[in-house]
Amino acid sequence: MADDTLIDRPAGSAPAVTPALATRMLPLVGRIALDLQTGWQRWREAVEHYELVAAGDGSDTDGARDALAAVEQRAAEVEALRRELRPLGASCPSPRTARIEWATEIAGITGRLVWYPGDGEVRHWIAGDEPASAIRVIPGMERPEDDALTAD
């Protein structure tokens, strides 16, 4: 597997990104991920405010309309940040956690590279269509401290 290149894939399929290339993207992707977390939190706060206003006696229709507009604006901001990831071959399925994923192929198995803010490199993946809970260390990138995470 080449270090810093996309993996050749059949026409029409998403290009697969190597762990090395994804790691090289982290300065930009990390900024977007942190902005996504902040944007998601602002959206949640706007939703909570709207719920409070909407639960009132109904006399503040202008306030409810403004609160709903704020929710929609915050949602649009989060979606715009998610779109910034697309040209990088990345996605953010969870703005709350800012988990970033890239299509990949490891040892002939398609899957998704996974990165969370705070990780210094991309060294985790999810094979095939497994759920996010099936995250594991990429073969060959194991470290001694990984054993402590899986020890009973």
Task: Give the mean pLDDT of 6-24.
Answer: 69
* Structure confidence by residue, pLDDT tens digits, 72-131: 999 999 999 999 999 999 999 999 999 999 999 998 999 999 999 999 999 999 999 999
**Helix spans in the chain (H):** 19-24, 26-54, 61-85, 144-150
Q: Cα dihedral sign for 10, 14, 19, 22? A: positive
% residues pLDDT > 90 (the chain): 68
Q: pLDDT grade, residue 57 (50/70/90)?
A: confident
Q: pLDDT grade, residue 18 (50/70/90)?
A: very high
Q: Are strands 90-94 and 99-106 parallel, antiparallel or unpaired?
A: antiparallel
* Structure confidence by residue, pLDDT tens digits, 137-146: 998 888 777 6
Q: Are strands 90-94 and 16-17 parallel, antiparallel or unpaired?
A: unpaired
Above 60 in pLDDT, residue 148? no
Task: Give the mean pLDDT of 20-36.
Answer: 96
Which of these, 80, 96, 79, lies nearest to 37 by C-alpha position?
A: 96
- Please give the model's pTM, rounded to 2 decimal places: 0.79
Above 70 in pLDDT, residue 133? yes
